[in-house]
Amino acid sequence: MNRVGQTGGLDNETLREVEMSGTRARTFGFSGMKPTIVVVAALVFLAASCGGGVSQEDYDTLKVQIEAQEANFASYQAEQAVGTQPRVATPAEPTDIDEISRHPSIMPDSTRYTLYENGRYLNPNDRGEAPITIEAHFRIREVVAEMVSGTTMDFWTFDGGIPGPMIRGRVGDTIDFYLHNPQENRIPHNVDFHAVTGPGGGAVRLDTRPGAVSRLQVKLLAPGIYIYHCAYPDIPMHISHGMYGLVVVEPEEGLPQVDHEYYVLQSDFYTEMGGEESHPALRDAGHLDYSPTYGNLEEPTFVVFNGRPDSIVGDRALGVFGSEVNAGETVRFFVGNIGPNLVSSFHLIGEIFDRVYVEGSFSLVNSTGSMWRARSAW
């Protein structure tokens, strides 16, 4: 995302939801961020709705909005220039759950499950050639949990863990998805599936207030590994509270069998502590509030795999937590990065992947076997 103040311009309040000629365009962005791309997107929608041309009336309306937001953004920049206020520490809060991290070994071991509910993959079957329907129920839990020892944060989760549950199917399968937002929650949520073609990847259909359930039925058309995330405004705020996961769409013939699989998802968390301290220094820091300011500055307090620091070490290391991994066995990683800001520098030591599906594409494969053969010929 753009860093605030680099380009000047609009804030997102207007631009997150631009309604013109019956077309709603939703966009990403921390409050106050200059969304140049969004203006372009809005104009594209206008062009589409006006048969190829932007009317003077629509142009004038957008221009007024832009000028109003420029004034708003100038005041935001002034606020930023003052700097962040000194933190007043608050005690750690009682936790609602013992563990915020969903371990990488907790995932469907294949595409043979037709139901996900209450944290479990159910109804395994020997699927044949024909596509199947996979029914998935996600329940949103807004919880307080420990990020590091003695330090709590507010998390918004799918089924109480970060990342959310993996959905796994094959091309041709149908996902029958239900989003449950229990009454005790405070905030509406939704899901944007990047595996889905359509408005907001289904997010518009899945806006769900507390006490309601929404449903989306979609057919999986394109193979690959996809992010899903909550896309309820302010979208980066929902992402930064932990609302994301992966959808794996295998090719029609499925993926080759391996002995072990893991589900790893990187993300950033932004708090009032900013980004200067490493996580050992953030122990016993009390309750940390979410900070949109440090989000705008792209200065995360925590950059983690699977929900929190140290989530995959010690007794939670791969091959220790869950099944044991022995020499000669095969392992597959599904790796994602939701940010919302930082890129991932996934770094493997002491082993070389035989095959890398580049950027989650099953058709773009980097194979060390073929490289080795090429080198051997030299």
- Contacts with Cu ion, residue ranges (CB under 5 A): 189, 230, 232, 238, 243
Separation between Cα atoms, residue 291 and residue 289, nearest integer Å: 6
28 versus 232: smaller Cβ distance to Cu ion: 232
Between 15 and 203, name the residue whose CB sits nearer to Cu ion: 203
Q: Provide the minimum distance between the beta carbon of 356 and Cu ion in the complex, in angstroms, as a whole number.
A: 32
Complex with Cu ion: residue 169 or 233, whichever CB lies closer: 233
Kindly write down the DSSP assignment for every residue of 311-354, as one continuous string: TTSGGGSBTTBSS---TT--EEEEEEEEESS--------S---S
Mode of pairing for the β-strands spanning 331-339 and 260-269: parallel
Q: How near is the Cβ of 30 to Cu ion at its closest, in Å?
A: 15
CA separation, residue 187 to residues 3, 156, 182, 217 (Å): 27, 9, 10, 24
Please list the alpha-helical segments (H only) found in the chain.
12-15, 36-49, 56-82, 235-239, 292-296, 368-376
Nearer CB in complex with Cu ion: 238/308: 238
Contacts of 49 (CB under 8 A, 6+ apart): 20, 21, 22, 23
Closest distance to Cu ion from the beta carbon of 23 (Å) = 23
Rounded to a whole number of angstroms, the minimum distance from the CB of residue 121 to Cu ion is 23
Q: CA 78 to CA 89: how far, in whole Å?
A: 26
Q: How far apart are CA 369 and CA 255, in angstroms?
A: 18
Residue nearest to Cu ion (CB): 230
Q: Is the omega angle on the peptide bond into residue 233 within 30 degrees of 0, that is, cis?
A: no
Angstrom distance (rounded) from CA 151 to CA 161:
17
Q: Which is nearer to Cu ion, 171 or 243 (CB)?
A: 243
Least distance from C-beta 299 to Cu ion, angstroms?
22
Q: Residue 33 or 140: which CB sits closer to Cu ion?
A: 140
* Separation of alpha carbons 342 and 363, rounded Å: 26
Q: What is the nearest approach in angstroms of Cu ion to the Cβ of residue 174?
A: 25
Site of tokens 């070994």: 105
**3-class secondary structure, 360:** helix
Nearer to Cu ion, 168 or 189 (CB): 189
Rounded CA separation 168/184 (Å): 29
Contacts of 38 by beta carbon, 8 Å cutoff, 6+ apart: 10, 12, 15, 18, 25, 27, 29
DSSP 271: B
Shortest Cβ distance from residue 101 to Cu ion (Å)? 19
Report strand pairing: 113-117 vs 120-124: antiparallel
Q: Which is nearer to Cu ion, 171 or 230 (CB)?
A: 230
Q: CB 298 → Cu ion: shortest distance, Å? A: 21
**Toward Cu ion, which CB reaches closer, 5 or 210?**
210
Nearest distance in Å: CB 21, Cu ion: 28
